[in-house]
Amino acid sequence: MAAGSYHTVGVTAAGRVVAVGSNDLGQCGVVDWRGIVAVAAGSTHTLGLRVDGTVVATGNNDHGQCEVTGWDAIQSPGHRS
């Protein structure tokens, strides 16, 4: 689970992401996200880590904070391979 300034996101046991709160910049646009193992929330953006190590992002990208294309082999905190 993670909280941004005006939104909150969580991951279900099935790997789906749920979000509530302000969506004025698309930060809650996570309905199609599947296979997620961890989430993070900024002020107006949301990140998800997929089980395959890739990253997805949605929301405000004014400073490039959602430019995660090509991010792979990312690990969640506490995970060691």
Beta carbons of 20 and 7 less than 8 angstroms apart? yes
Q: Tell me: the pLDDT tens digits for 16-63?
A: 999 999 999 999 999 999 999 999 999 999 999 999 999 999 999 999
Q: How far apart are CA 68 and CA 12, in angstroms?
A: 23
pTM reported for the whole predicted model = 0.92
Strand partners, 9: 2, 19
pLDDT of residue 73: 95
Provide the pLDDT for residue 77. 73
pLDDT of residue 64: 97
